[in-house]
């Protein structure tokens, strides 16, 4: 077959499997837009792939499926059980087509009717979804654009507190632009911590956002010390003031709607006086005057009063800030007396004016015309400390801070220290004032007090350090509107100006650290250490080779023996033995490693059960809950695969015959929902699979009667047989208890086939059942079947192998301890009667069992099924690892042996099939 | 020297199909199965002459991939083709806006694909 088609088939099967699983998860109430999207994507991909080939039947059905899932993920139609049924049917159909393509290379034309029917059924859902039984609706999925724009369209509520971070000059500018008819928006953007790994560049996103006026980068939590800083975690917050249209913003942030809030800004929110309170409100006179002018409708006088006051006051004061706003408001809203009054009144408390309960604008001031004319004259003259510092000034300021840092770092004599600390604090306060950072004054004074009392510079130093990192972030933020290249330049400049920046490595500079990620291991591992797909044949070859190796290394001990006994070179024999232990260890490790490669989790088989149980129980009208346990238990791939069919059969049986309908269950006083548990556990070198149901169990009386009627057992057996043995008769060939052969189980495959399949991989199957309580089936499988451990026993001068899984123990039994019970012999072993059988008799060898010098017989106690039997042999030898090969040709008719194995010395060991000979 | 083409698609079948037709037209082909993987390959030094990407992919879709690539100086001008089953004009415009060079609707024959690529990569 052409490799492309082969690839298509294998990928399609994987996708179908995955679709089935996801639909099951959805049905179990995991209503999750992620899952729905995933199903859509899978169907979509399948459809796309099928278009590569000429399979119109497949494409048509999948296309309908894709449309339906698309509607579901957009929330147009709800996800319903009927929908799932249809989709699952399509998945089955496609799977069936895949099988047909694989076997015949094409699709028969007869399937086009099915394809049309399935497509029509799905498309029908698109129209008439209303009557469907709603399981869940994909409402939590909403296209990004909607989410973002609905938020931005929200009516302005409270002003975001963070607006105060915007410098006054910018706010004033924004205010003017808003009054000029532009819309203002305040954006806060908190990128996900892991966003760098998703290839996001939040800084770039923000920098590219349309028409920004001002931006700021903050951090969500305190910066850790540089050494502990995880530069790959994004803990940044962005704030942005823009004049872009809400639609534009929604469009720009459409990939991160959940991380962004966009608030339309009421211009009044920007009127936020800030500054040094200078000891508290003492402006009662001015407030009274100003209010008087306002009430009297005399804007000229009011403005003059405000300007005079402003000239007299230190520009860094809160008062000055409020006055500047007052002047601006008088320019732009001369008629809005309520607003002006609020602002003036706010001077009494020095708290920002409250704009929320503002009444409608009052009548225009009489001199409005004149006022606005004059007021517009020279807004630029208004002294403001918020202006941007020129680059030179900024550098000077940075140098000043740097100098303070150095002064603080000096070793000092105590007598001078207090004075020096005070001097530094003084300089810092002045610097901060120039920078417009009034609140810092309080912090510096606290730090100074601490420093003085502690007698060391540390508190001031740490304040300085914190400020420097804040400063750096602000520097970056100020550059946001600027060109990308300019930013990079400024950033590197500020880096060199302020060498000790704790935050620097986390700053998401678009052209720097993010792209630089490529140099680190985290990314590299994505591409190089994933799982690789290896052809099964190659692994099998490795497995065979290691098997050969295990056997050939076993030749070394014989060689050593020969060297010593035959050639008398003891020295060489010892060296060979030493070398053998080394090789042995390596080979064992290697074998283990190769075995690991072949190990698959049982979930490989289990994953199809939810669907199976769902379908069957629906059909039978039974209510069944399936519990899967231990899905990650691992076993050899071949064994797991052999397990699939028997398990399905057992599950079908349980559902069909074991579990009752809800009505029957209620009548017996059980919960209406039946439980079926499938559990995998590992015990020593075996995997145990338990299938437990709480159904009606198996009635031994019925089994006995049926078995007798069908001639499986004769009359004498019928009387003697125990209930336990009777139940296990279901494993007998040609046994089926179903009164009428149902649609599900009873397809001519009985439990005997299940047993045969399990025994084929050297497994055992056990059944226990209690009428009315339920049935428990246990399948025990070897972890791997490639290399078998066998115990070598000797009887009549021949050696035989006994598979270790049967061996319970080896004991020496004195001949006089053996009792005769009727014709049989038995021995009591720790209070338990163990029937004895001589291997010689079983194999029809003429010799009698030989006892050792103490007249003790060698008894190998073996467990076959649930019975324990003592096998009398002449002698025990060691256990060996062998590769068991089934007998071929005429020898294959010998039931007494399960196979043969090659020994290290070249001889052949026959391995006994205890199930047959006992 | 043969030009390198980087194909991003979550479907191994699709990758194989496109790869087969491009390799037979003497292109060097590199592949990735989703946007995240593609980005990491590109960031770790892969420098293709042309990128072909699917739109619907797990982890990171084609749109986002294009957006990210256009944000990287080294891939600002690399031609990016989208190869997808989507044919909605809105999607097409969205991709154009993000910086996609062209839009091809699946399924496409190898010959058509090679023709488009040769137009984009003169001298190939």
Confidence class for position A280, pLDDT limits 50, 70, 90: low
Given this model, what pLDDT does residue A692 score? Answer: 92
Size (chain A), residues: 918
Is B37 near chain A, with CB under 8 Å? yes
Q: What mean pLDDT is predicted for residues B81-87?
A: 79
Is B31 near chain A, with CB under 8 Å? no
Q: Do A52 and B12 touch (CB under 8 A)?
A: no
Confidence class for position A733, pLDDT limits 50, 70, 90: low
For chain B, how big is the Rg over CA atoms in Å? Answer: 13
Q: Which two tokens stand for residue A637?
A: 């791939």
Identify which of A49, A517, A526 has the shortest CB distance to residue B13. A49
Is B41 near chain A, with CB under 8 Å? yes
Q: Which two tokens stand for residue A617?
A: 């129980």
Instruction: Looking at the structure, give the CATH architecture of the domain made up of residues B4-120.
Output: 3-Layer(aba) Sandwich (3.40)
> Which strand ranges, in their side-by-side order, compose the sheet holding A908-912?
A875-882, A788-795, A798-803, A908-912, A897-902
Query: How far B105 CA lies from chain A's nearest CA (Å)?
Result: 10
Omega prior to B107 cis, within 30 of 0? yes
Q: Do B107 and A48 touch (CB under 8 A)?
A: yes
Is A488 near chain B, with CB under 8 Å? no
Dihedral sign, Cα of residue B29, residue B33, residue B39, residue B40: negative
Given this model, what pLDDT does residue A358 score? Answer: 57
Secondary structure in 3-state letters for A612-668: HHHHHHHHHCCCEEEEEECCCCEEEHHHHHHHHHHHHHHHHHHHHHHCCCHHHHHHC
Query: How far A504 CA lies from chain B's nearest CA (Å)?
Result: 21
The distance from CA A885 to its chain's CA centroid, rounded to whole angstroms, is 44
Confidence class for position A357, pLDDT limits 50, 70, 90: low
Given this model, what pLDDT does residue A702 score? Answer: 81
CA distance A421 to A447: 10
- Judged against a pLDDT cut of 70, whether residue A476 lies above it is answered with no
Is B72 near chain A, with CB under 8 Å? yes
Q: Spell out the residues 6+ positions from residue A684 whose beta carbon is closer than 8 angstroms to its own.
A: none
Among candidates A329, A355, A323, which has minimal Cα distance to A342?
A: A355
Max distance between CA atoms of chain B, in angstroms, equals 38
Query: Contacts of residue B94 in chain A, CB cutoff 8 Å?
Result: none
Identify which of B44, B60, B73 has the shortest CB distance to residue A511. B73
Over the stretch A303-342, which tens digit does the pLDDT of each residue have? 887 887 777 777 777 778 888 888 888 777 766 777 777 7
Asked if this assembly's ipTM is beyond 0.90, the reply is no
Q: Do B11 and A45 touch (CB under 8 A)?
A: yes
CA distance A727 to A711: 16
CA-nearest residue of chain B to A201? B68
Query: Contacts of residue A45 in chain B, CB cutoff 8 Å?
Result: 10-11, 14, 56
| Contact call for residues A510 and A203 (beta carbons, < 8 A) | yes
CA distance A726 to A749: 20
> Which strand ranges, in their side-by-side order, compose the sheet holding A236-242?
A212-219, A236-242, A185-189, A260-264
Q: What mean pLDDT is predicted for residues A892-908?
A: 81
| Interface-testing mutation among B7, B10, B13, B99, with chain A (most A C-beta atoms within 10 A) | B13
pTM: 0.41
Confidence class for position A802, pLDDT limits 50, 70, 90: very high
Is A266 near chain B, with CB under 8 Å? no
CA distance A423 to A419: 6
- Judged against a pLDDT cut of 50, whether residue A412 lies above it is answered with yes
Query: Contacts of residue B37 in chain A, CB cutoff 8 Å?
Result: 526-527
- Residue whose structure tokens are 């010593």: A564
Identify which of B20, B71, B106 has the shortest CB distance to residue A4. B20
Is A386 near chain B, with CB under 8 Å? no
> Which whole-number Å values give the CA distances from A789 to A583, A803, A811, A864, A883, in the listed order?
19, 6, 19, 17, 9
Given this model, what pLDDT does residue A103 score? Answer: 82
CA-nearest residue of chain A to B41? A527
| Interface-testing mutation among A5, A49, A256, with chain B (most B C-beta atoms within 10 A) | A49
Is B70 near chain A, with CB under 8 Å? no
Over the stretch A843-892, which tens digit does the pLDDT of each residue have? 888 888 888 888 889 999 998 877 889 999 999 988 887 877 777 778 87
Confidence class for position A381, pLDDT limits 50, 70, 90: very low
- Can you give the residue ranges of every domain in chain B? 4-120
| Contact call for residues A28 and A47 (beta carbons, < 8 A) | no
CA distance A680 to A632: 8
């Amino acid at each position: 077959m052409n490799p492309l088609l082969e690839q298509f088939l294998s990928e399609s099967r994987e996708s179908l499997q995955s679709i089935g699983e996801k639909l099951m998860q959805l049905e179990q109430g995991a209503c999750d837009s992620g899952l729905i999207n995933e199903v859509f994507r899978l169907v979509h991909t399948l459809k796309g792939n099928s278009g590569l080939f000429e399979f119109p039947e497949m494409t048509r059905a999948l296309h309908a499926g894709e449309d339906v899932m698309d509607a579901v993920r957009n929330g147009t139609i709800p996800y319903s059980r009927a929908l799932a049924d249809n989709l699952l049917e399509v998945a089955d159909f496609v799977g069936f087509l895949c099988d047909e393509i694989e076997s015949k290379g094409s699709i028969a034309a007869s399937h086009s009717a099915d394809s049309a029917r399935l497509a029509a059924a799905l498309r029908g859902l698109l129209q008439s979804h209303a009557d469907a039984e709603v399981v869940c609706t994909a409402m939590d999925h909403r296209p990004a654009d909607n989410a973002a724009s609905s938020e931005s369209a929200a009516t302005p509520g409270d002003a975001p507190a963070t607006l105060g971070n915007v410098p006054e000059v910018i706010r004033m500018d924004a205010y003017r632009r808003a009054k000029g008819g532009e819309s203002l928006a305040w954006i806060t953007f908190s990128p996900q911590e892991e966003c760098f790994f998703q290839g996001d560049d939040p800084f770039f996103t923000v920098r590219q956002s349309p028409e920004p006026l001002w931006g700021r980068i903050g951090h969500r939590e305190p910066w850790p010390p540089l050494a502990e800083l995880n530069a790959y975690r994004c803990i940044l917050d962005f704030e942005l003031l823009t004049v872009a249209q809400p639609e534009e913003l929604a469009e720009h942030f459409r990939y991160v709607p959940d991380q962004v809030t966009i608030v339309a800004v009421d211009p009044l929110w920007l009127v936020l006086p800030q500054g040094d309170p200078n000891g508290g409100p003492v402006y009662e006179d001015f407030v009274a005057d100003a209010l008087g002018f306002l009430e009297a409708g005399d804007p000229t006088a009011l403005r003059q009063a405000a300007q005079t006051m402003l000239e007299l006051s230190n520009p860094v004061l809160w008062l000055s800030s409020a006055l500047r706003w007052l002047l601006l408001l008088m320019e732009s809203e001369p008629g809005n007396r309520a607003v002006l009054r609020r602002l003036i009144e706010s001077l009494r408390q020095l708290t920002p004016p409250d704009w929320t309960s503002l009444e409608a604008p009052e009548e225009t001031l009489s001199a409005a015309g004149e006022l606005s004319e004059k007021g517009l004259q020279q807004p630029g003259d208004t002294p403001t400390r918020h202006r941007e510092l020129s680059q030179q000034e900024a550098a000077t300021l940075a140098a000043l801070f740097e100098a303070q840092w150095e002064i603080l770092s000096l070793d000092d004599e105590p007598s001078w220290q207090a004075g020096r600390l005070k001097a530094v604090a003084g300089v810092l306060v002045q610097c901060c004032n120039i920078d417009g950072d009034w609140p810092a004054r309080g912090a510096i004074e606290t730090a100074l007090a601490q420093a003085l009392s502690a007698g060391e510079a540390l508190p001031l130093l740490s304040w300085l350090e914190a400020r420097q990192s804040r400063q750096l972030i602000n520097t970056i933020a100020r550059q946001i509107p600027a060109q990308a290249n300019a930013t990079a330049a400024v950033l590197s400049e500020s880096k060199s100006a302020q060498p000790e920046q704790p935050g620097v490595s986390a700053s998401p500079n678009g052209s720097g650290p993010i792209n630089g990620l490529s140099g680190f291991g985290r990314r590299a591992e994505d591409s190089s250490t994933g799982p690789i797909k290896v052809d099964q044949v190659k692994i099998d070859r490795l497995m065979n080779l290691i098997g050969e190796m295990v056997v050939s290394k076993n030749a070394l001990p014989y060689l050593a023996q020969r060297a010593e006994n035959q050639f008398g070179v003891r020295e060489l024999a010892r060296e060979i033995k030493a070398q053998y232990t080394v090789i042995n260890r390596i080979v064992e490790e290697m074998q283990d490693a190769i075995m690991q490669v072949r190990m698959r989790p049982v979930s490989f088989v289990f994953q199809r059960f939810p669907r199976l149980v769902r379908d069957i129980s629906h059909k039978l009208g039974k209510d069944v809950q399936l519990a899967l346990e231990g899905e990650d238990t691992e076993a050899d791939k071949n064994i797991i695969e052999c397990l699939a069919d028997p398990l399905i059969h057992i599950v079908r049986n349980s559902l069909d015959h074991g579990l009752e309908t809800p009505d029957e269950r209620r009548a017996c006083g059980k919960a209406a929902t039946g439980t079926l548990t499938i559990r995998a556990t590992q015990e020593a070198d075996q995997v145990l699979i338990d299938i437990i149901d709480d159904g009606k169990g198996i009635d031994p009386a019925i089994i006995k009667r049926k078995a007798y009627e069908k001639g499986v057992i004769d009359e004498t057996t019928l009387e003697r047989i125990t209930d336990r043995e009777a139940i296990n008769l279901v494993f007998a060939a040609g046994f089926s208890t179903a009164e009428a052969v149902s649609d599900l189980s009873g397809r001519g495959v009985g439990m005997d086939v299940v047993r045969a399949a399990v025994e084929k991989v050297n497994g055992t199957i056990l059944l226990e059942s209690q009428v009315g309580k339920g049935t428990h089936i246990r399948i025990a499988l070897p972890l791997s079947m490639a290399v078998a451990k066998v115990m070598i026993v000797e009887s009549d001068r021949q050696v035989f192998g006994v598979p270790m899984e049967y061996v319970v123990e080896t004991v020496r039994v004195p001949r006089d301890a053996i009792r005769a019970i009727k014709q049989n012999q038995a021995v009591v072993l720790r209070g338990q009667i163990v029937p004895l059988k001589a291997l010689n008799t079983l194999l029809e060898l003429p010799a009698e069992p030989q006892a050792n010098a103490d007249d003790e017989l060698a008894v190998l106690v073996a467990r076959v099924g649930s019975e324990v039997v003592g096998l009398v042999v002449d002698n025990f030898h060691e256990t060996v690892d062998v590769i068991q090969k089934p007998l071929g040709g005429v020898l294959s008719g010998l039931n007494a042996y399960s196979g043969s194995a090659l020994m290290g010395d070249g001889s052949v060991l026959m391995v006994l099939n205890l199930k047959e000979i006992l | 020297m043969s030009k390198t083409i980087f194909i991003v698609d979550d479907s191994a079948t699709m990758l194989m199909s496109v790869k087969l037709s491009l390799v037979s037209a003497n292109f060097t082909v590199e592949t990735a199965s989703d946007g995240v993987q593609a980005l990491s390959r590109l960031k770790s030094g892969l420098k293709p002459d042309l990128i072909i990407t699917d739109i619907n992919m797990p982890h990171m879709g084609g749109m986002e991939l294009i957006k990210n690539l256009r944000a990287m100086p080294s891939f600002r001008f690399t031609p990016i083709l989208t190869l997808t089953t989507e044919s909605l004009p809105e999607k097409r415009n969205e991709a154009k806006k993000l910086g996609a060079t062209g839009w091809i609707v699946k399924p496409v024959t190898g010959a058509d694909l090679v023709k488009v690529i040769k137009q984009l990569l003169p001298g190939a």
